[in-house]
Amino acid sequence: MMSLQKRLGRGLMAVLCAIFVLHWFAADWVIRSAAEKQMANRLADDGYSLLETLTYSDDDRVSFDSFHISSVYNRRLSGHYYLVKVDAHAYPSPSLLDFPLAVEPVGPDQSKRYHLTGPRGSPLLVLTLGAVRFGHRINISVAEDLSAVDHDITSIRLAYFGLTMLILFSAIGILRRDIRRSLQPLLAVGRELEQVAGGTRQKIDSDVPEEIVPLVAEINHLLELIVRRLQQSRTALGNLAHALKSPITLLLRASEASLLDAHPELRVQLNTQTEIIHRYIERELKRARIAGDQPAATAFNPRREMIALKKTLRAIYAGKPLDIQVTAPNHQVHFDREDMMEILGNLLDNACKWASKQVDVELSLQDGLVIRVADDGPGCEREDLSHLTQRGQRLDEAMQGHGLGLGIVADIVEGYHGQLAFGRSKTLGGFLATVSLPLRR
């Protein structure tokens, strides 16, 4: 979809262009009308001068004297012409030569202004005056060549067109700058939303124009709602896990009671089913705590978190001479801290559990976040790799644990639309777990 800035810009430019085109045609019409009106006034003066020279003779003839009007009417094809009609008799000006001026007749005390084509195709402005003198019907038509006026009007038209274009482009430039300035608050809201998505901000700044205040308030309300519900969900799940711990412990102790000595099969079934219930509850509780790719999740600093996790694991496995090497970027990335700690905690705990001396952890940011955890333990056979994320799957029953760690890692990775792969480390020779998570765009 076209951006709001482009849409506003194109709409305003179209309106401005339409207004300036109409304004230019209107101004052109006004300039031409004013010039022709001034010319018509001059033609009227010459026509009335001719009318005043009409004389009447005893033989009922009407004659006129052109001596009192300008000499340009006597010069050949001068561009100034007249034609006097007394009844059916026409008296053209000497300047017309033999050119038949096709004037339009008017009635007594009437006048008419119109255009004609004159000698050599020249455009003429003609003014015809009607009168009755000495009982005869008189029409006096005075014409002037418009070529010179057209030339002047064209010069004025070009100058005015250039001025109009200058004003138009200046107005467009000012409008585009004003549109960009007006949309700055929306762009700022967009940048703050990206920061919210990146986990570096929890809400949008409310210092925005009043038109988008309701939108910002609603977004902030939704963000607060997401965070609150996530926290409530985690708190409720923690309480549930704590509440279920005691009943399950009682069931396990009940299975060891002497009353069941006579029923070993029943004891095994009770132990097995209680353990299954424990695994299911543990798995589903951890799965429900996964935040996933939520915009309001708290950002994660890989290096800082890994240093703290490394200290914890060294304390847990104090009896093993483990060397845990960590390579991780030291800046915030958009991944929920709790989810990442769940992934890293399970992978590192698994690595420390099986490693002899060495555990390598590498976190890198390329097209996404890549986590590689390798150890120098016995590793895993190729045919067993596909079973590692199955519920309760433990390849070595002698090792402590519920077999849920890698399954939980797989659930979190799936929530982020990432990939989880297992294999053998080429450098340490033991187990290698690789997690690839795409970055949020």
3 state SS for 321-355: CCEEEEECCCCCECCCHHHHHHHHHHHHHHHHHHC
**Alpha carbons 430 and 375: distance in angstroms, whole number:** 5
pLDDT at 359: 92
Which pLDDT belongs to residue 291? 52
Beta-bridge partners for 358: 323
Taking the C-alpha atoms of residue 216 and residue 212, their distance in angstroms, rounded to an integer, is 6
Residue 402's pLDDT is 47
CB 99 within 8 A of CB 67: no
183 contacts: CB under 8 Å, gap ≥ 6: 4, 5, 8
Q: Cβ–Cβ contacts within 10 Å for residue 396, how many?
A: 11
Bridge pairing between strands 358-365 and 323-327: parallel
The whole-angstrom separation of Cα 325 and Cα 328 is 10
Ranges of the chain whose pLDDT falls below 70? 1, 68, 198-199, 206, 283-299, 389-404, 440-441
Residues 130 and 10: their CA atoms lie apart, in Å, by: 56
Angular region, 72: left φ>0, alpha ψ -120 to 50, beta rest: alpha
Closest CA to 278 of 253, 239, 237, 249: 249
DSSP 67: G
- H or E segment at 142? strand 136-145
Give residue 303's identity as a one-letter amino acid code: R
Give the number of other CB atoms < 10 A from CB of residue 195: 15
The phi and psi torsions of 114 (rounded to 5 degrees) equal: -160, 175
Pair 65, 119: CB distance under 8 Å: no
Q: Please give the pLDDT value at position 331.
A: 83
Record the tokens describing residue 158, joined without a space.
Answer: 């070009």
pLDDT at res. 370: 92
Q: Which long-range contacts (CB under 8 A, 24 or more apart) does 84-89 make?
A: 84/50, 84/138, 84/139, 84/140, 84/141, 85/138, 85/139, 85/140, 85/141, 86/62, 86/136, 86/137, 86/138, 87/136, 87/137
Which of helix, strand or coil describes residue 419? strand
Q: Give the largest Cα separation in the chain, rounded.
A: 165
Nearest CA among 277, 281, 436 for reference residue 343: 436
Q: Quote the CA–CA distance of 428 and 77 in Å, as a whole number.
A: 111
